[in-house]
Structure 1
């Protein structure tokens, strides 16, 4: 993902109770005219748009009604339907802070500041990964064996603690408030510590 060029200004879909994590997938049905235009522009350009979580009733100024941190996603697949709507899969790429909302746009559009995920200290990354794997194993103990095996195989394939934490957040966290809290937590070590406590319990 590091080789991808994230646009400085990007369209954003404002969704209630919806948080997309980097490395996670989000299926979407695009039907509003403004978002149809956003999708068209994205497909003609970089294939990126952001997801921002609404914190209240939507207003004319997204700064008043959205969380400050969201995720830029890459359109992996998009299919236009006969009625003009589209079904697509958005793949999360990187956390971003919405630093400015563009007021004269026909759909929500923001200036972005990327928030790279870096685990520090690097010397403790292996221990962090092992703790996450143990927590995921504990959280899936009551699930069918094939589900447990799939989760553990997935975790064994990831050797970056920041990526593994985001993948686990995407899969295991279901409460909107918790998901947004973890998206906004800048310290990867703090995310991992919180996840290990929650999953173990």
Structure 2
């Protein structure tokens, strides 16, 4: 196991059509009065709020990510542009009444320190990313750098890959919910390896006809 669940806590909830991952920055434009109030309350308390994905039918997912505000710019009309950074994941327990905005009781999930197996799979992921960048550059004829800010830490890497490389919110949500770092990395390596094979086949075909 490389996760642990801490005690429950009540946090403001911001449902969005996107997925936030730990250690990843997300810019947000705050315009609704209830969410302006939410941000004010979060700033006053010095706490965090939860970003959780809206699914089909306006349902919210069962897992999200706690967010802390790292930058804020207030506009003259009261709207705000903020940047948040993902903290720990959380599992949703139940919604809580009492505010104009949504609140929920959640269980905070803290990832444990990665073990040696995580580092081994992380190396495989790094190699696959390097190969994908090289093959993509060859096919397009221009330098492509997708890994310049790629983290070394296995847990951070396991969140960086879906945040940067997978555009489907449903697929991102699935990877967010994978229980442990090593399982998430193994899943991502399989996806990256399929991409690498596809690009290698295209590159070989290009060489054959060049």
Superposition TM-score tier, normalisation by shorter sequence:
0.7 to 0.9
Q: Tell me how far 1:130 sits from its aligned partner.
A: 0.5
Residues 46-85 of structure 1 mapped to structure 2, 5 A cutoff = 46-58=46-58, 65-85=59-79
Larger Rg: 2
Normalising to structure 2: TM-score of the pair?
0.80
The answer for the alignment partner of 2:186 in structure 1 is 193
Match of 1:182 in 2: 175
Q: Distance in 2 between matches of 1:47 and 1:118?
A: 22
Aligned to 2:10: 9
- For the 8 Å contact 1:21–1:170, the answer to whether it is kept is yes
Which residue does the alignment assign to 2:143? 145
Aligned mates of 2:95, 2:131 — CA distance in 1: 42
Query: Which 4+ runs in 1 deviate beyond 6 A?
Result: none
Q: TM-score, normalised by structure 1?
A: 0.83
Structure 1 gaps, min length 5: 1-5, 59-64
Task: Tell me the number of residue pairs that the alignment of Structure 1 and Structure 2 aligns.
Answer: 184
| CA RMSD between the two structures | 2.1
**Structure 2: stretches of 5+ with no match in the other structure:** 1-6, 195-210
> What is the Cα deviation at residue 79 of structure 1?
0.8
Does the CA-based 8 Å contact 2:8-2:108 persist in structure 1? no
Instruction: Report the CA distance between 1:111 and its aligned residue.
Output: 1.3
